[in-house]
Amino acid sequence: MENTMRSPSLRLTRTEAARTHLTIVPPALEVLAPRPVFKPAVDPATLVHKQLLGGEFWRRIPAYAEIDEAVFLDHSWQARHSITRAERLFETLKDIASPEFMDDAALGFSSSPMSVRLSPYLVSLIDWSRPYEDPLRRQFIPVKSRLLADHPRVGLDSLNEQGDAPVPGLTHRYADKALFLALDRCPVYCRFCTRSYAVGVDTDEVEKINLPANAQRWRDAFAYIASRPEIEDIVVSGGDAYQLRAAQVTEIGDTLLAMPNVRRIRFATKGLAVMPQKIVTDHAWRDALVAVVEKGRKLHKEVVLHTHFNHPNEITAITERAMDLLMEHGVTVRNQAVLMRGVNDSVETMTRLVKRLSHVNVHPYYVYLHDLVKGVEDLRTPLDTALHLEKHVRGTTAGFNTPTFVIDAPGGGGKRDVHSFEYYDRDTGVSVFTSPAVRKGALYLYFDPLHALSPLARTRWQDPAEQQAMTRAAIARVRRVERPFDIFRGVISKPNFPVEDTAWP
């Protein structure tokens, strides 16, 4: 019997389309049989993310001109020859940087809220023929001429980590996660450090809160973690886990893994970006980390390493060598970058960073909008920059190697997707976020840097009354009330910014 059944038509009349909420495609645009599209071959020379700096590049620095590879790869040599004073930097560079820059840097050293510490590896990666523009210099060496006045809402502990600390050096903000600040020292010090209130040595601008690797302080932190069955995830940071002795890595790892409630441990270090030599030559430290990772795996618990690259120039052939060793031992490494003006705020640079990280087996995890940190207004970008970058970076590589762009909500709201703001006034630079899982009903405000605003908005921010008006207006838009001043009598994150004392319950 002849089959008289016909395939249903793929075309709908306009009436049928209207009933089904479909859009009619004009006949000229109909594609009945899509043609295959073949992408043109890519010139390998354009794959710049694979082109890692190698060779003895450090010899271009006068003080390192006679240093061979074995010495330069020695982590102890790197630590001993780290630079903490302007005079030592000048001795290291000699005449490859201009006298004008040297004078500018000397004034920057003395006026920065954050202490300065540079590894020889890091010094050797900076382009000293153009130090003002170099993205690594901008992160680690302050120069007086480029510093900008802080935004009025900037503070030392902008994330309110101390306010969420049940015992010194342990922040418990999320229900199931705690941040353990094991110590207050790092292999280098970042200008933009969100913990400049504690990390490093005292400066002319800041007297630090001390969080040394103290046995009693550690016992108090461990006791708290063990007493809270809801805590499953521990970030071991500081300071920097790189500065822990191998025996201390073992002690922390074994103690936390022995707690039934702890399921995940993250050791956090900037070290891979600024001193990858430690992974290559500090066998005791690397073996201690690997042993904790393997012990966790046998207990069906996850132990990983979190690191912090901000620019593709920080990733070299030495980085790849270090990462290969970690990869061979089954250590997962994730990256948390900070978005910074003149460092990684272009689509091209951020894309290259993400792809280069993936190339050396580091998973891009987060890109943070810059925290409201004192002394680094020149490095901050507006929220709009993060929104723009996320849109253009997504899709350039695999999704699991694409970072999430987040803001660590000022005042203690925790990580929020940059797109999740409740309100964003691009004229005043005020954005408002909520964080229901951390504190239901609270509002957390972020403030774009003044240099990104119009002259009129910058003038308004110089007037305390106008500051209050702009923040209240943003809050009122979220709360949708007629009397925005009453908002301050509700639940809003108090440490986020100063207001009149009478505004609080």
266 assigned to some structural domain: yes
Per the domain annotation, does 44 fall within a domain?
no
Terminal Cα distance for the chain, rounded = 86
Nearest-CA neighbor of 360 among 471, 276, 253, 238? 276
179 in Cβ contact with 193 (< 8 Å): no
Q: Select from 468, 428, 465, 466 the least CA-distant residue to 446.
A: 428
Task: Render the burial of 461-473: b for 16+ CB within 10 Å, e for the rest.
Answer: beeeeebbebbbe
The per-residue pLDDT for range 324-366, each reduced to its tens digit, is 999 999 999 999 999 999 999 999 999 999 999 999 999 999 9
Determine, yes or no, domain membership for 225.
yes
Is the same domain home to 142 and 69? yes
In which order are the strands placed within the sheet that holds 233-237?
170-171, 177-181, 233-237, 264-268, 302-307, 333-338, 363-368, 404-409, 414-417
pLDDT of residue 5: 41
Least confidently predicted of 59-68, 89-98, 109-118, 413-422: 109-118
* Sign of the torsion formed by the C-alpha atoms of 338, 342, 347 and 350: negative
Contact 179, 265 (CB under 8 A): no
331 and 379 share a domain? yes
**Same-domain status, 434 and 369:** no
**pLDDT for residue 203:** 76
Averaged pLDDT for residues 210-238: 96
Residue type, 89: L
Q: Helix, strand, or coil here: 393?
A: helix
Q: Which of 1-5, 36-40, 97-101, 347-351 has the lowest mean pLDDT?
A: 1-5
For 203-316, where are the alpha helices, taking DSSP H only?
A: 215-227, 246-257, 271-274, 277-281, 283-298
Number of independent structural domains in the chain: 2
pLDDT band at 31 (very low <50, low <70, confident <90, very high): low
Chosen domain end from 415, 448, 481: 415
Is a pLDDT exceeding 70 seen at residue 495? no
Residue 185 has pLDDT above 60, yes or no: yes
pLDDT of residue 310: 98
398, 415, 432 - which closes a domain: 415
More confident residue, 36 or 474: 474
Question: Where is 456: in which H helix or E strand?
Answer: helix 455-460
Q: Residue 41: helix, strand or coil by DSSP?
A: coil
d(CA 482, CA 73): 64
Q: What is the pLDDT of residue 112?
A: 86
**Residue 151 contacts residue 470 (beta carbons within 8 Å):** no
Give residue-wise pLDDT tens across range 18-28: 454 555 555 55
Say how far apart CA 212 and CA 217 lie, in whole Å.
9
Over residues 78-137, the pLDDT tens digits come to: 999 999 999 999 999 999 999 999 999 999 998 888 889 999 999 999 999 999 999 999
Half-sphere exposure of 340 (CA within 13 A, CB side): 25
Neighbours of 175 (CB within 10 A): 12
Query: In terms of domains, do 390 and 494 share one?
Result: no
Whether 286 is covered by a domain: the verdict is yes
- Check the CA dihedral 76-82-84-87 and report its sign: positive
pLDDT tier, 29 (very low <50, low <70, confident <90, very high otherwise): low
- In tens, the pLDDT along 438-455 reads 999 999 999 999 999 999
Residues 136-184 pLDDT 10s: 999 999 999 999 999 999 987 888 888 899 999 999 999 999 999 999 9
pLDDT band for 504, please (50, 70, 90 cuts). Answer: very low
At 228, which amino acid appears?
R
Whether residue 217 sits in one domain with residue 288? yes
Verify that 436 and 397 share a domain, yes or no: no
Q: Which of 371, 392, 415 is the last residue of a domain?
A: 415
Q: Which domain holds residue 214?
A: 52-415
Instruction: Tell whether the model's pLDDT for residue 481 goes beyond 70.
Output: no
